[in-house]
Amino acid sequence: MDQARPGRDVLDRSLRTSWIVAGALALTLASTQPYDALALLAGEVISTLHFIFLRKIVKLFTEKRGGLALAIIGKVLVVYGGLFALMTWDKIRYAPLCAGFAIPFAVLFLKSMQLAFGAGPASLTRRAKGAMLILAVVGASALATTAHAQTSGPAQKEHSAAQAASAQAAPAASHEAATELPNWLVLLHDFNPGNAVIGWLEKNQIIVFAWIAGLLFLFVSWLAMRKPKMVPGPFQNAVEWMVESLEDVAGGLLGSHIERHFPIIGALFFYILTINLLGIIPGMKSATSSLDLTLALALITFLYVQFWGIRNLGIVGYLDHLAGSPRDAIGWMMLPVMLPVHILGELAKPVSLSCRLFGNIFGEDTLIVVFVSATALCLKAGLTALAVPPMAGITALFMMLQTLTSIVQALIFSLLATVYLYMMLPHEEHAPEEAHASH
Amino acid sequence: MLTSIPFILALAPLIGLAIGLYLDRHFRTKPWLGIVFCVLGFVAGVRETIKIVKLSQLED
């Protein structure tokens, strides 16, 4: 027997395991939703084919043998064509198809993690135990789904009738998909639906929470610097430490310009940080989970950078910078191409800044909403053992992660603003060895 | 800082496309300006990426 190739071995074993899992899931679903079971198996087939073709392509590529193009064309036709054909068949739903497609990936991921932590292929007795466990879980879930299908038949009808009635009664209330946790403004509005002031505040809650964060930021700064002492107290010391650390990082890049530009960089960092951290408090909301606010912040940065660009380089120098500093005939000939390229590059900066901040914070918020809803659903279904330790624990972990993301995103936003400013400022008085910003 | 590269690379052609389509509607040249500006946006994205990589190397 030739030398075992770990990569291939893991892939083979993962595919085998994924087929066992997919088969078990399909058997569970087969009695109630045969088309979903079929979609799951179809997804599994396509995914297996994807891995087989991928392995073939990698092998042909590394061994530099012929037939690479054929393998690639075959993969595109079979895997993507197959997926497309399955998706156009209207009896197959996307969710089970995607689940089937994802099973081998998930199994491969778990197996690789297992390998990374030093666990090799399990012994036969352990495998037998694992197989028994899987069989028991599948059997139990199959029983549960059939029982659920039998009991929920009439209940579902009642439910749909009630839904239809409520949809007729209140059409606005029918689309209640929870995309965010209710904050105190939403709750206030729910209890006083007729109040015009609360209605206005609820409608403009992003602005309200941005104000709250701003006021909080001002209050904390005022509190820290109310009576500044030479030997600072603990609170003043903490705030000074934060400001000085940021000044060090930004100053490494901007050099002597930092004194002039630190107010806006620091304000951006601490303002975004306050807004982000506000979202962790229950009943509050991160205003940065709205693209409007992040775009406004990015536009402020953009205008500030352009203003300093014009002020430092002069109008002519600024236009020269935008045109790519043409100095010879080729440069002037490239002008019609380079000018739009430079303008587009400048425009991409604020958009990417705002999209990143919005995406990260919104994603974190949505993640927490999903897990809180899952916990609530578990509690509603009477599964307290599943709801409290694992689900609530995961939510708490994600909240810790949110704290970290809040700080990192605020830092990235302000540091990128610094970098964009640095690109616009004259660099002569700024030796390269000074640039030791710690990234 | 390097994490901004995917955003720049993905968004620059989209911004170019948006500007191109807007100009197309004005000058009735659909779809040519859209394509041209999308390509220019891609070039701008690559240029910005090169700048960012150079800058980060300077810092190291």
Question: What pLDDT does B48 receive?
Answer: 84
Tokens of A237: 């010391």
CA distance A370 to A292: 23
Res A303: pLDDT: 94
Secondary structure class of B56 (helix, strand, coil):
helix
Distance CA A90, CA A113 (A): 37
CB atoms B12 and A415 under 8 Å: no
Judge: B55–A348 Cβ closer than 8 Å, yes or no.
no
Tens-digit pLDDT profile for chain A (439 aa)? 444 455 557 788 888 888 888 888 888 888 888 888 888 888 899 889 888 888 888 888 778 777 777 888 888 888 888 887 887 787 778 778 888 888 888 888 777 777 766 665 555 566 666 667 766 766 666 566 555 555 544 444 444 444 444 444 444 443 445 667 788 888 888 888 888 888 888 888 889 999 999 999 999 888 888 888 777 778 888 888 999 999 998 888 888 888 889 999 999 999 999 999 998 888 888 888 889 999 999 999 999 999 999 998 889 988 888 887 888 888 888 888 888 888 888 888 899 889 989 998 998 888 888 888 888 888 887 777 676 777 777 888 888 888 998 999 999 999 889 988 888 887 654 444 444 444 4
Structure tokens at A18: 């994924």
> CA A226 to CA A223: how far, in whole Å?
5
Q: Residue A341 and residue B47: Cβ atoms within 8 Å?
A: yes
**Interchain CB contact of B45 with A (< 8 Å):** yes
Distance CA A291, CA A366 (A): 14
Give the N- to C-terminal CA distance of chain A in Å, as an integer. Answer: 49
For B31, the 3-state DSSP assignment is: coil
Q: Which chain A residues are Cβ-neighbours of B45 within 8 angstroms?
A: 345, 348
Are the Cβ atoms of A432 and B44 closer than 8 angstroms? no
Chain B CB contacts of A419 under 8 Å are 1, 52, 55
d(CA A272, CA A274): 5
Out of A344, A352, A423, whose CB is closest to B16?
A344
This model of the complex carries an ipTM of: 0.78
Cα-atom radius of gyration of chain B, to the nearest Å?
14
**Per residue, what are the HEC states of chain A?**
CCCCCHHHHHHHHHHHHHHHHHHHHHHHHHCCCHHHHHHHHHHHHHHHHHHHHHHHHHHHHHHCCCCHHHHHHHHHHHHHHHHHHHHHCCCCCHHHHHHHHHHHHHHHHHHHHHHHCCCCCCCHHHHHHHHHHHHHHHHHHHHHHHHHHHHHHHHHHHHHHHHHHHHHHCHHHHCCCCCCCCCHHHHHHHHCCCCHHHHHHHHCHHHHHHHHHHHHHHHHHHHHCCCCCCCCCHHHHHHHHHHHHHHHHHHHHHHHHHHHHHHHHHHHHHHHHHHHHHCCCCCCCCHHHCHHHHHHHHHHHHHHHHHHHHHHHHHHHHHHHHCCCCCCHHHHHCHHHHHHHHHHHHHHHHHHHHHHHHHHHHHHHHHHHHHHHHHHHHHHCCCHHHHHHHHHHHHHHHHHHHHHHHHHHHHHHHHHHHHHHHHHCCCCCCCHHHCCCCC
Among A334, A346, A352, the strongest candidate for a mutation testing the B interface, having the largest count of B CBs within 10 A, is A352
Cβ–Cβ of B11/A437 closer than 8 Å?
no
Q: Are residues B40 and A419, on separate chains, in Cβ contact within 8 Å? A: no
User: pLDDT tens for residues B1-50?
Assistant: 677 788 888 888 888 888 889 999 999 887 888 888 888 888 888 888 88
Residue of A nearest to B37 (CA): A340
| A55 Cβ contact list (under 8 Å, min separation 6) | A8, A11
Helix (H, G, I), strand (E, B) or coil at B21: helix
Q: Which residues contact A220 (CB under 8 A, 6 or more apart)?
A: A239, A274
- Tell me, yes or no, if A336 comes closer than 8 A to chain B by beta carbon: no
DSSP state of B22: H
Q: Out of B11, B56, B58, whose CB is closest to A355?
A: B11
Measured between CB atoms, does B40 come within 8 Å of chain A? Answer: yes
Structural domain boundaries in chain A: 6-149, 172-203, 205-438
**Chain B contacts in chain A segment 213-252 (CB below 8 A):** 252
Using DSSP's 3-state secondary structure scheme, residue B30 falls into coil
- Name residue A164's amino acid: A
Do the Cβ atoms of A419 and A253 come closer than 8 Å? yes
Q: Do A348 and B11 touch (CB under 8 A)?
A: yes
* The pLDDT value given to residue B12: 87
Most B CBs within 10 A among A295, A341, A416, hence the mutation to make, goes to A341
DSSP class of B18? H
Contact B7 A253 (CB under 8 A): no
pLDDT value of position A139: 64
**What are the distances in angstroms from CA A217 to CA A210, A213, A271, A360?**
10, 6, 7, 22
What is the per-residue pLDDT for A266?
92
Cβ proximity of A250 and A415 under 8 Å: yes
B8/A348 CB distance under 8 A: yes
* Burial category of A430 from C-beta neighbours within 10 Å (exposed 0-12, middle 13-18, buried 19 and up): middle
